[in-house]
Amino acid sequence: MSDLNGLQGLYLEDLEIGLSASYGKTVTETDIVMFAGITGDNNPVHLNQEYAQTTMFKGRIAHGMLSAGFISTVLGTRLPGPGTIYLSQNLVFKAPVRIGDTVTAKVIVREIMPSKKRAILETNCYVGDLCVISGESTVMVPSRPQE
């Protein structure tokens, strides 16, 4: 499955339609504060409880792109894994994520394009059974080296 001491993920030839992988993480206060600091997104809906209570969410929510980042975790570490190049991503934010929620990013292979060395992947994030982000990505996947 991998070589180079874990530095290479699946090859294009290893992919199959329906193959899936996931990554889950519980979102913490620290995650939100650090994400705001790294990105500069200091929207008070993420950082200020008094302000956030006046919004439709009735409290603070995590940055949508923080949860979407967990998709990148799956792509770069699990499916297809190291060596994968992210080409595009579309996202639909369907429900808020709050501090203490466990977000699970799930990636499923939907199409393989051998001539272009690309794969199209379903990329969704869930809190429990609730889909909070739905999306699709296109990635470039290395081919197995010719011997």
Whether the per-residue pLDDT at 6 is higher than 80: the answer is: no
Chain segment 109-119, per-residue pLDDT in tens: 999 999 999 99
Q: What tokens appear for 100 in the block?
A: 């203490």
In 1-147, at which residue ranges do the beta strands (DSSP E only) sit? 20-26, 85-93, 102-113, 118-127, 130-140
Structural domains in the chain?
Answer: 12-27+61-140 (3.10.129.10)
Q: How far is CA 65 from CA 4, 15, 87, 120, 132, in A?
A: 31, 27, 17, 20, 12
**Predicted structure pTM score:** 0.91
Angle at 92 between CA 111 and CA 54, to 5 degrees: 165
Chain segment 65-100, per-residue pLDDT in tens: 999 999 999 999 999 999 999 999 999 999 999 999
Q: Which residue has the higher pLDDT, 135 or 2?
A: 135
Peptide bond connecting 80 to the previous residue in cis, omega within 30 degrees of 0:
yes
Residue 59 per-residue DSSP state: S
